[in-house]
């Protein structure tokens, strides 16, 4: 039985107030999590402040880079422990976590450690009124203590995607992992100590959102900036908290992403790509596709082919041979997803496949399983086409023209991502510009170059992270003007 404690100032802090961490595969108990209260959050923020003013704040960039590489190496050295921790918390297939989640956990430290060594600063020489000159040059300093609030769908990946650049820029962090997935953030505390990261640089406080660690952290007056990944509504609550003290936020929020398949697309690749984007990680990827638009000449054939893909997933324990789909993260989340499955039926959808709970053998029957599901035939006003579900499901509708599909795809308050399938270069480039999203993949999905800007348009986020864009949030840019 695991015991997940808070990690504050390099030490493990229990609180005696615990909640359960359960494995969604069979609802078995993984362990207990110590919920941080106001006192523990205060202690974590104070430790982060001291570290900033102490050894970490005075450290050379070269040494910081070395230590962050040691953290990445530590994740790789303990790869299997991270893998087992992540799949126990989420139920995701081992093949997925071992190729995506854990390698990205290490890469998020390496990439930003390397980037920070090579960032130029701008400089302008100006004429002055007395006929002389002055030189302006930019200096970047860390923003300070960063509050990092994380979701449960890609726990290590999304947490380190924030912590990597934050530490590379010289900040200190207090992380609040999702209450559903406390394990890998906790394990990372051990790696931080092993790597020699000074106490207080990386802190973890466990708990929930409102009236718990999430709210205490985001409301804390000594937190200088808040980076958050999660639901748009939670983002609204955090933004209100951040208004106190006018603290900056960086938000990666919800999505209702479109997948668009033109008749000239490579058919098999398009089917495989849309299947991935709709069903990978049981549809629990913010960048995933829940609205698919297929050009009319290939519509029927595409629906049949995607149905075959959906029915070809093998549901089962993460480590079992050939398993390609896990459960949802929790029974509670399953209730939400199933409520949309019911709504789709009530609104008159044609259920192409799925729509319910699969028969699972033995102990697995207690897990948070749902069938991968495809609908057709709904009007654009239907709830499953308007609202983010975050499950392995999608609606497929036909379209005729490029203009029509652009209007359909953009008709949403969200603007996170899109995936477009075509073999026409002109179509590809026009779609890339016309879709109102932070990232548009052409003939691909979730292909990530960490140097590029990442974030959402409209209600899908505030700000961009990735490459030098991360510096906008994690550093404070100052101008020094020297009269010569
Ligand atoms: P969530 O918003 O429910 O929770 C995220 C985190 O916020 C958790 O740690 C939670 O405890 C905390 N939290 C909740 N209420 C809070 C409050 N009032 N104050 C402070 N903290 C609070 O999201 P989730 O269910 O964990 O994740 C799924 C959602 O995240 C989906 O909407 C998905 O689209 C979104 N997401 C977006 C991205 C992106 O890159 N845009 C990435 C992953 C997930
Ligand atoms: O790849 C990333 O950096 C990233 N932030 C992915 C988000 C996935 C959402 O579920």
Closest C-alpha to 431, from 262, 271, 298, 254: 262
For the CA of 241, the nearest ligand: 1
Half-sphere exposure of 146 (CA within 13 A, CB side): 30
Q: What are phi and psi of 22, to 5 degrees?
A: -115, 150
> What atom of ligand 2 comes closest to residue 154's alpha carbon?
10
> Rg of the chain over CA atoms, in angstroms?
23
Instruction: Using DSSP bridges, classify how beta strands 439-442 and 475-483 pair: parallel, antiparallel or unpaired.
Output: unpaired
Q: Is 481 a catalytic residue?
A: no
SS (H, E, C) 28-47: EEEEEEECCCHHHHHHHHHH
CB atoms under 10 Å from CB of 30, counted, come to 18
Label residue 281 left, alpha or beta by phi (over 0 means left) and psi (-120 to 50 means alpha).
left
pLDDT, tens digit (0-9, with 9 covering 90-100), for 325-340: 999 999 999 999 999 9
Q: Which residues contact 278 (CB under 8 A, 6 or more apart)?
A: 259, 288, 289, 290, 292, 306, 372, 392, 393, 394
Asked if 235 contacts 214 with a C-beta cutoff of 8 angstroms, the reply is: no
DSSP class of 197: P
Asked if 33 contacts 24 with a C-beta cutoff of 8 angstroms, the reply is: no
Q: Which residues contact 92 (CB under 8 A, 6 or more apart)?
A: 86, 101, 281, 282, 318, 326
CB atoms under 10 Å from CB of 335, counted, come to 11
pLDDT, tens digit (0-9, with 9 covering 90-100), for 273-311: 999 999 999 999 999 999 999 999 999 999 999 999 999
Asked if 336 contacts 367 with a C-beta cutoff of 8 angstroms, the reply is: no
| Residue with CA at minimum distance from ligand 1 atom 12 | 209
Q: Is 286 a catalytic residue?
A: yes
Asked if 203 contacts 47 with a C-beta cutoff of 8 angstroms, the reply is: yes
Q: Which residues contact 461 (CB under 8 A, 6 or more apart)?
A: 235, 251, 252, 253, 416, 438, 455
DSSP class of 367: S
Strand, helix or coil at 91?
Answer: coil
CB atoms under 10 Å from CB of 296, counted, come to 11
Q: Which residue has the tokens 């779609």?
A: 431
CB of 441 closer than 6 A to ligand 2? no
> What atom of ligand 2 comes closest to residue 151's alpha carbon?
10
Cα of 302 to ligand 1 centre, how many Å?
33
Cα of 350 to ligand 1 centre, how many Å?
31
Asked if 356 contacts 341 with a C-beta cutoff of 8 angstroms, the reply is: yes
**Best mutation site among 96, 229, 287, 329 for ligand 2 pocket (most ligand atoms within 8 Å of CB):** 287
**Looking at residue 425, what is its pLDDT?**
98
Asked if 221 contacts 242 with a C-beta cutoff of 8 angstroms, the reply is: no
| Residue with CA at minimum distance from ligand 2 atom 3 | 161
Alpha-carbon gap, residue 202 to 429, rounded angstroms: 42
Spell out the domains of the chain, with CATH numbers in brackets: 2-253+460-483 (3.40.605.10), 257-449 (3.40.309.10)
Alpha-carbon gap, residue 196 to 198, rounded angstroms: 6
Angstrom CA distances, 356 to 335, 341, 362, 369, stand at 11, 7, 18, 9
Strand, helix or coil at 341?
Answer: helix
CB of 208 closer than 6 A to ligand 1? yes
**Looking at residue 424, what is its pLDDT?**
98
Cα of 19 to ligand 2 centre, how many Å?
27
Whether this model's pTM surpasses 0.85: yes
For the CA of 290, the nearest ligand: 1
**Best mutation site among 448, 451, 461, 464 for ligand 2 pocket (most ligand atoms within 8 Å of CB):** 448
Determine the Cα angle at 274 with ends 269 and 278, to 5°.
155
**Looking at residue 203, what is its pLDDT?**
99
CB of 176 closer than 6 A to ligand 1? yes
**Looking at residue 134, what is its pLDDT?**
98
Helix (H) or strand (E) holding 324, with range, is none
Alpha-carbon gap, residue 251 to 227, rounded angstroms: 6
**Looking at residue 366, what is its pLDDT?**
98
Strand, helix or coil at 479?
Answer: strand
Half-sphere exposure of 447 (CA within 13 A, CB side): 9
CB of 438 closer than 6 A to ligand 1? no
**Looking at residue 24, what is its pLDDT?**
98
Ranges of residues in the chain whose predicted pLDDT is under 50: none
CB of 448 closer than 6 A to ligand 2? yes
**Looking at residue 95, what is its pLDDT?**
97
Write the DSSP string, 51-90: HHHTHHHH--HHHHHHHHHHHHHHHHHTHHHHHHHHHHHH
Helix (H) or strand (E) holding 216, with range, is helix 213-218
Length of the chain: 484
Q: Which residue has the tokens 């499953």?
A: 384
Residue 317 token pair = 């324990």
| Residue with CA at minimum distance from ligand 2 atom 5 | 158
For the CA of 285, the nearest ligand: 2
**Best mutation site among 103, 229, 416 for ligand 2 pocket (most ligand atoms within 8 Å of CB):** 229
CB of 161 closer than 6 A to ligand 2? yes
Instruction: Using DSSP bridges, classify how beta strands 414-415 and 457-458 pair: parallel, antiparallel or unpaired.
Output: antiparallel
For the CA of 251, the nearest ligand: 1
Question: Catalytic residue among 150, 169, 286, 440, which?
Answer: 286
**Looking at residue 130, what is its pLDDT?**
98
> What atom of ligand 1 comes closest to residue 177's alpha carbon?
9
Cα of 231 to ligand 1 centre, how many Å?
4
> What atom of ligand 2 comes closest to residue 450's alpha carbon?
3
**Best mutation site among 214, 220, 234 for ligand 1 pocket (most ligand atoms within 8 Å of CB):** 234
For the CA of 149, the nearest ligand: 1
> What atom of ligand 2 comes closest to residue 448's alpha carbon?
1
> What atom of ligand 2 comes closest to residue 281's alpha carbon?
10
- What b/e readout covers 371-404, taking b as 16+ CB neighbours within 10 angstroms? bbbbbbebeeebebbebbbbbbbbbbbbbeebee
């Amino acid at each position: 039985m695991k015991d997940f404690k808070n990690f504050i100032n390099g030490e493990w802090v229990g609180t005696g107030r615990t909640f359960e961490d359960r494995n969604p595969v069979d609802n078995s108990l993984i362990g207990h999590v110590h919920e941080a209260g106001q006192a523990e959050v205060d202690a974590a923020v104070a430790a982060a402040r001291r570290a900033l003013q102490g050894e970490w704040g005075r450290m050379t960039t070269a040494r910081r880079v070395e230590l962050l590489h040691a953290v990445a190496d530590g994740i790789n050295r303990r790869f299997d422990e991270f893998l087992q921790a992540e799949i126990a918390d989420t139920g995701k297939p081992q093949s997925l976590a071992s190729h995506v989640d854990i390698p990205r956990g290490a890469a998020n430290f390496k990439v930003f450690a390397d980037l920070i060594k090579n960032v130029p600063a701008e400089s302008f020489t100006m004429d002055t009124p007395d006929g002389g000159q002055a030189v302006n040059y930019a200096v970047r300093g860390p923003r300070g203590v960063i509050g990092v609030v994380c979701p449960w769908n890609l726990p290590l990946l999304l947490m380190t995607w924030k912590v990597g650049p934050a530490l590379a820029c010289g900040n200190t962090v207090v992380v609040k992992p999702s209450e559903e997935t406390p394990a890998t953030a906790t394990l990372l505390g051990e790696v931080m100590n092993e790597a020699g990261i000074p106490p207080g640089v990386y802190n973890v406080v466990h708990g929930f959102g409102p009236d718990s660690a999430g709210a205490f952290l985001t409301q804390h007056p000594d937190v200088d900036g808040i980076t958050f990944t999660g639901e748009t509504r939670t983002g609204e609550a955090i933004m209100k908290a951040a208004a106190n003290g006018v603290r900056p936020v960086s938000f990666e929020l919800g999505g209702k992403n479109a997948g668009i398949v033109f008749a000239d697309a490579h058919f098999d690749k398009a089917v495989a790509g849309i299947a991935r984007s709709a069903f990978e990680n049981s549809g629990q990827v913010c960048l995933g596709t829940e609205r698919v638009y297929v050009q009319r000449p290939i519509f029927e054939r595409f629906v049949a082919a995607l149905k075959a893909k959906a029915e070809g997933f093998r549901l089962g324990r993460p480590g079992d041979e050939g398993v390609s789909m896990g459960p949802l993260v929790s029974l509670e989340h399953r209730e939400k997803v199933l409520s949309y499955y019911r709504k789709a039926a009530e609104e008159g959808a044609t259920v192409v496949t799925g729509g319910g709970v699969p028969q699972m053998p033995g102990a697995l029957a207690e897990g948070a399983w749902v069938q991968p599901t495809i609908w057709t035939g709904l009007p654009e006003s239907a709830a499953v086409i308007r609202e983010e579900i975050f499950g392995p499901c999608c609606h497929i509708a036909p379209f005729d023209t490029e203009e029509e599909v652009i209007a359909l795809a953009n008709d949403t308050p969200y603007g996170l991502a899109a995936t477009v399938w075509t073999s026409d270069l002109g179509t590809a480039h026009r779609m890339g510009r016309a879709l109102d999203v932070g990232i548009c993949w052409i003939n691909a999905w979730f292909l990530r170059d960490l140097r590029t800007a990442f974030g959402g348009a409209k209600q899908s986020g505030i700000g961009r992270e990735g490459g030098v864009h991360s510096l906008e949030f994690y550093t404070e840019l100052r101008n020094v003007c020297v009269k010569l």
